[in-house]
């Protein structure tokens, strides 16, 4: 499988990274190189193999669904590029 | 007092306790050494007041006779660890100016143990790189140079600032993180020790995420004993990390013993690969002799899926990274670049905030997770990962620890490796243990013909850091490696 310029443009859109045509044309062969190389995994017989989900066996813990740390709005907002009225502010999404 | 910086952590601890010097003297000496080493570009932020504050507390506690284990020890903290009120940027433009209102569990554990922070250490952007060249702050320059050469060398990566700082004695020890070799390869390049513990030993909480199923913190220091001391302080159960191991922390330092009688050392035949310099294979053979001399017996083992570890890693790590890095959207922290509407703002922010290697990996990760390709790439890789894990399970039925070289070359020059795939090959020996979540360590073995350090790599069974450290100690005692870079900075 190899990715086309159009596919690279689509991936960039999915990844929310603005890219010029030049960048996309430069990136396509790089990605194809890497993807071509990882495709050697096709040689490995994985019939009947369960995909690994936890690298060290352990039980997932449960905890009570309660607030553990609250009332820290100002700390949470302290690093935002833009806050308004105690909220994160983003460009208008509804006309 | 400059000689204070040449001491190990164990020596600093003992000298401070016996009253030979104060913690303040140690902190001041290190602060001065850090300030004088700007040419290395190892620190992204210097925090001399933090180091002094911890030192004063240590001096005061000494008077009262109740000292925490790392009292009076100044450390460097990789820029991937969130440090309260101190810039934490993961070597990226996109986190410019981010001052966390919280502290990572690992660095908080070190502070609780009495350590001071000298500053934040430079690194490859989001820990993606093997040479420190992807950092938004520019590359760290290794304190090491080839014989009769002024060419700037890489300290390795991604924990390159940590490795350079320890090697140049501008930190007594440092934190690193290892996703696919990022502690061990720079430790080898810089002639120091570094251990990645079993996945889950050190909490990931407050460490900027790269690939969560692989990321693991660990110490980097001059000696094996220093690594044991630091790891004891860093490790421990943390309810805030869902994959943290709920197990007591072993007393690795008091368990240190270089007597390996009864231990079986596995030598994996698949790690004899083409294109590795003869000096590295010769050092590997020397390492085998050292471990035999320490009482171990040798077993040839087979890890048949070794050659598939790197391609497996380069599906899984970018996939997890593409998900983890989705949080950098210009809304909650860091950089924001205005664009057309909300999506335009996201795309412009991420275009300007991420560097080329990070973009490349996000693109690969997005692709392998996208509809229609998920099973062919991601599920396939997780299956091969299960086989790699199984290889190690079988091997550890026959041996107690595995010995290999750490990296396929010594440190290379900055700008010498431009092909991404060639760069990825640096971690060919390191990545399998990461995929299997196993403890693994690099210890210096000797210098190559150009006068650059080479490392030996020990991989242990799950939760058996002790055997890794003990085999490391056996090598350290026999290699007699004491070389330090000649000061040029």
Average of per-residue pLDDT across B138-152: 97
Smallest CA–CA distance, residue B333 to chain A, in Å, is 4
Smallest CA–CA distance, residue A41 to chain B, in Å, is 6
A86 lies in some domain: no
B348 lies in some domain: no
Average of per-residue pLDDT across B144-160: 97
B445 lies in some domain: no
A and B: number of Cβ contacts within 8 A: 164
Judged against a pLDDT cut of 50, whether residue B293 lies above it is answered with yes
Average of per-residue pLDDT across B214-224: 98
- Encode pLDDT of B409-430 as tens digits: 999 999 999 898 889 999 999 9
* Helix residue ranges, H only, B65-177: 105-112, 160-167
> What is the domain count for chain A?
1
How far is the C-alpha of B209 from the C-alpha of B278, rounded, in Å? 37
Q: Which value does ipTM take for this structure? A: 0.96
Average of per-residue pLDDT across B164-176: 98
B59 lies in some domain: yes
Task: Locate the chain B residue with the closest alpha carbon to A44.
Answer: B384
Residues of chain B with Cβ-Cβ distance to A88 below 8 Å are: 331-332
B96 lies in some domain: yes
Nearest to B305 by CA among B135, B431, B142: B431
Judged against a pLDDT cut of 50, whether residue B115 lies above it is answered with yes
How far is the C-alpha of B77 from the C-alpha of B84, rounded, in Å? 12
Judged against a pLDDT cut of 60, whether residue B300 lies above it is answered with yes
B367 lies in some domain: no
Judged against a pLDDT cut of 50, whether residue B1 lies above it is answered with no
Query: What is the percent of chain B with per-residue pLDDT over 70, rounded to a whole number?
Result: 100
- Encode pLDDT of A55-87 as tens digits: 998 888 898 999 888 889 999 999 999 999 999
What is the average pLDDT score of chain B?
97
Residues of chain B with Cβ-Cβ distance to A81 below 8 Å are: 330-331, 333-336
Nearest to B271 by CA among B236, B232, B302: B302
Smallest CA–CA distance, residue B373 to chain A, in Å, is 10
Q: What is the DSSP secondary structure assignment for residue B38, as one 8-state letter?
A: G
Question: What CATH number does residue B152 fall under?
Answer: 3.90.1300.10
User: Which residue has 């412009």 as its token pair?
Assistant: B348
B73 lies in some domain: yes
Q: Do A41 and B364 touch (CB under 8 A)?
A: no
Domain that holds residue B76: 2-261
User: Going by C-beta distance under 8 Å and a sequence separation of 6 or more, which residues neighbour residue A65?
Assistant: none
User: Going by C-beta distance under 8 Å and a sequence separation of 6 or more, which residues neighbour residue B340?
Assistant: none
Q: What pLDDT is recorded for position A69? A: 82
B171 lies in some domain: yes
Interface of A with B in 13-72 (CB under 8 A): 13-19, 27, 30-31, 33-35, 37-44, 46, 49-56, 58, 60-61, 63, 72
- Encode pLDDT of B231-267 as tens digits: 999 999 999 999 999 999 999 999 999 999 999 999 9
User: Which one from B104, B135, B182, B442 is the annotated catalytic residue?
Assistant: B182
Average of per-residue pLDDT across B385-405: 98
Judged against a pLDDT cut of 90, whether residue B178 lies above it is answered with yes
Domain that holds residue A35: 5-42
Query: B117 phi and psi, to 5 degrees?
Result: -110, 125
Smallest CA–CA distance, residue B110 to chain A, in Å, is 23
Q: Do A18 and B339 touch (CB under 8 A)?
A: yes
Q: Do A91 and B341 touch (CB under 8 A)?
A: yes
A37 lies in some domain: yes
Question: What CATH number does residue A35 fall under?
Answer: 1.10.20.60
When CB atoms are compared, the residue of A31, A56, A75 closest to B437 is A56
What is the average pLDDT score of chain A?
93
Q: Do A38 and B377 touch (CB under 8 A)?
A: yes
A92 touches chain B (CB under 8 A): yes
A24 lies in some domain: yes
Q: Do A19 and B351 touch (CB under 8 A)?
A: yes
User: Which one from B92, B142, B158, B322 is the annotated catalytic residue?
Assistant: B158
Q: How many CB atoms lie within 10 A of CB B32?
A: 15
> What is the domain count for chain B?
1
Nearest to B279 by CA among B34, B401, B488, B452: B452
A93 touches chain B (CB under 8 A): yes
Q: Do B342 and A54 touch (CB under 8 A)?
A: no
Q: Do A46 and B383 touch (CB under 8 A)?
A: yes
Please state, in angstroms and as integers, the Cα–Cα distance from residue B414 to each residue in B53, B418, B423, B424, following that order: 36, 10, 12, 15
Average of per-residue pLDDT across B56-79: 94
- Encode pLDDT of B117-129 as tens digits: 999 999 999 999 9
Q: Provide the pLDDT confidence category of residue A1 given band limits of 50, 70 and 90.
A: low
Which of A6, A41, A48 to probe by mutation at the B interface, max B CB count within 10 Å?
A41
Task: Locate the chain A residue with the closest alpha carbon to B359.
Answer: A17
Judged against a pLDDT cut of 90, whether residue B65 lies above it is answered with no
B102 lies in some domain: yes
Q: Do A40 and B311 touch (CB under 8 A)?
A: yes
Please state, in angstroms and as integers, the Cα–Cα distance from residue B290 to each residue in B259, B294, B301, following that order: 11, 6, 19
Average of per-residue pLDDT across B202-224: 98
B434: annotated active-site residue: no
Q: What sign results for the dihedral spanned by CA atoms A50, A51, A55, A61?
A: negative
């Amino acid at each position: 499988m190899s990715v086309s310029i159009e596919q690279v443009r689509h991936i960039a859109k999915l990844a929310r990274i603005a890219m010029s045509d030049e960048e996309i044309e430069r990136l396509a062969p790089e990605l194809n190189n890497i993807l071509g190389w990882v495709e050697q995994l096709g040689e490995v017989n994985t019939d009947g193999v369960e995909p690994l989900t936890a690298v060290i066996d352990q039980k997932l813990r449960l905890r009570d669904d309660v607030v553990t740390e609250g009332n820290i709005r100002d700390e949470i907002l302290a690093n935002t590029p833009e806050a308004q009225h105690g909220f994160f502010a983003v460009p208008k999404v509804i006309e | 007092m400059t000689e204070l910086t040449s001491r190990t952590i164990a020596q600093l601890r003992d000298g401070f306790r016996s009253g030979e010097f104060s913690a303040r003297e140690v902190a001041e000496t290190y602060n001065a050494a850090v300030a004088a080493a700007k040419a290395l570009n190892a620190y992204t932020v210097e925090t001399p007041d933090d180091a002094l504050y911890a030192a004063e507390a240590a001096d005061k506690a000494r008077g009262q006779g109740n000292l925490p284990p790392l009292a009076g020890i100044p450390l460097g903290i990789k820029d991937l660890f969130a440090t309260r009120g101190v810039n934490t940027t993961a070597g990226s433009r996109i986190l410019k100016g981010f001052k966390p209102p919280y502290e990572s569990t690992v660095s908080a554990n070190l502070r609780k143990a009495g350590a001071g922070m000298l500053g934040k250490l430079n690194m490859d952007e989001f820990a993606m790189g093997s040479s420190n060249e992807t950092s938004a702050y520019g590359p760290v320059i290794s304190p090491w140079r080839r014989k009769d050469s002024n060419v700037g060398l890489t300290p390795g990566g991604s924990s390159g600032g940590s490795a350079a700082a320890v090697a140049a004695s501008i930190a007594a020890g440092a934190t690193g993180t290892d996703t696919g070799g990022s502690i061990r390869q720079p430790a080898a390049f810089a002639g120091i020790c570094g251990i990645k513990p079993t996945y889950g030993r050190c909490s990931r909480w407050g460490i900027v995420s790269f690939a969560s199923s692989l990321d693991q913190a660990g110490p980097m220091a001059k000696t094996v004993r220093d690594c044991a001391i630091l790891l004891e302080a860093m490790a421990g159960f943390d309810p805030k990390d869902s994959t943290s191991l709920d197990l007591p922390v072993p007393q690795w330092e008091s368990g240190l013993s270089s007597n390996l009688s009864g231990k079986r050392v596995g030598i994996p035949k698949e790690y004899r690969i083409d294109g590795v310099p003869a000096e590295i294979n010769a050092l590997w053979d020397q390492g085998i002799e050292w471990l035999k001399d320490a009482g171990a017996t040798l077993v040839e083992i087979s890890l048949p899926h070794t050659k598939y570890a790197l391609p497996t890693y380069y599906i899984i790590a970018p996939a997890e990274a593409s998900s983890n890095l989705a949080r950098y959207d210009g809304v909650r922290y860091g950089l924001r670049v205005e664009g057309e509407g909300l999506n335009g703002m996201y795309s412009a922010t991420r275009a300007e905030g991420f560097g080329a290697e990070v973009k490349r990996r996000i693109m690969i990760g997005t692709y392998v997770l996208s509809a229609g390709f998920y099973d062919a790439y991601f599920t396939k890789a997780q299956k091969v990962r299960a086989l790699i894990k199984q290889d190690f399970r079988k091997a550890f039925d026959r041996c107690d620890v595995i010995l290999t070289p750490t990296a396929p070359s010594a440190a290379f020059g900055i700008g010498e490796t431009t092909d991404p795939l060639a760069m990825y090959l640096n971690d060919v020996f390191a990545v399998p243990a990461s995929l299997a979540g196993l403890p693994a360590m690099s210890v210096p073995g000797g210098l190559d013909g150009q006068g650059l350090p080479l490392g030996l790599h020990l991989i242990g069974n799950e939760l058996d850091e002790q055997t890794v450290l003990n085999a490391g100690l056996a090598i350290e005692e026999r290699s007699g490696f004491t070389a330090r870079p000649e000061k040029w900075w």
